[in-house]
Amino acid sequence: MNAPAEELLFELRFPAQADRMSVVRETVRSAARLCGFDEQTAQDIVLAVGEACQNVILHSYGDRDDGQILLDIRSGGDRMILRVVDFGPPVDPKRIRPRDLQDVRPGGLGTHFIRQLMDSADFGPAPDGKGNVLQMTKKKVLVT
């Protein structure tokens, strides 16, 4: 069975800097509404993308302040597809895992949030070998 065609909704390229994230979140929220998600689910998607970008800012680029993030948002049949691409050094996917929540301490929650909030989250190297891609999907729930 062929996968449904993906329709590009937004493509955003921006500096990997914390002060850009408010604008990014508003774009994601608008895209989620375009896909027909309710406000709570749109908020969940916004949080997942925010955490993904935060991971890039903190871990992929570290002390670098010239890194960029490419956010690609698509609607594909029954789901929304969001790809967060960075151009930093390859990160071992095994390092991208949620921590034990029993261990109450600051930090390390972002990956847990992403996995809780999205239907899928797959991290790996960018196809051209330069950078990393986190692809997240969220299924649309039809409101009757």
Q: Which C-beta is closer to another protein: that of 4 or that of 108?
A: 108
Q: What is the DSSP letter of 4?
A: P
DSSP states along 70-118: EEEEEEETTEEEEEEEE-SS---GGG--PPPTTS--SS--HHHHHHHHS
Contacts with another protein by CB under 8 A lie at: 18-19, 21-22, 25, 40, 43-44, 46-47, 50-51, 54, 57-58, 101, 104-110, 112-113, 116-117
Q: Which C-beta is closer to another protein: that of 8 or that of 18?
A: 18
Count the neighbouring beta carbons within 10 Å of the beta carbon of residue 57.
20
Q: How far is the CB of 89 from another protein (least distance, A)?
A: 20
Q: How far is the CB of 57 from another protein (least distance, A)?
A: 7
Q: Which C-beta is closer to another protein: that of 8 or that of 58?
A: 58
What is the rounded CA–CA span in Å between residue 105 and residue 51? 17
Q: For residue 58, give the nearest of 121, 26, 105, 106 by alpha carbon.
A: 106
Q: Which C-beta is closer to another protein: that of 106 or that of 127?
A: 106
Which residues contact residue 44 at a Cβ distance below 8 angstroms, ignoring those fewer than 6 apart? 117, 138
Q: How far is the CB of 114 from another protein (least distance, A)?
A: 10
Q: How far is the CB of 32 from another protein (least distance, A)?
A: 14
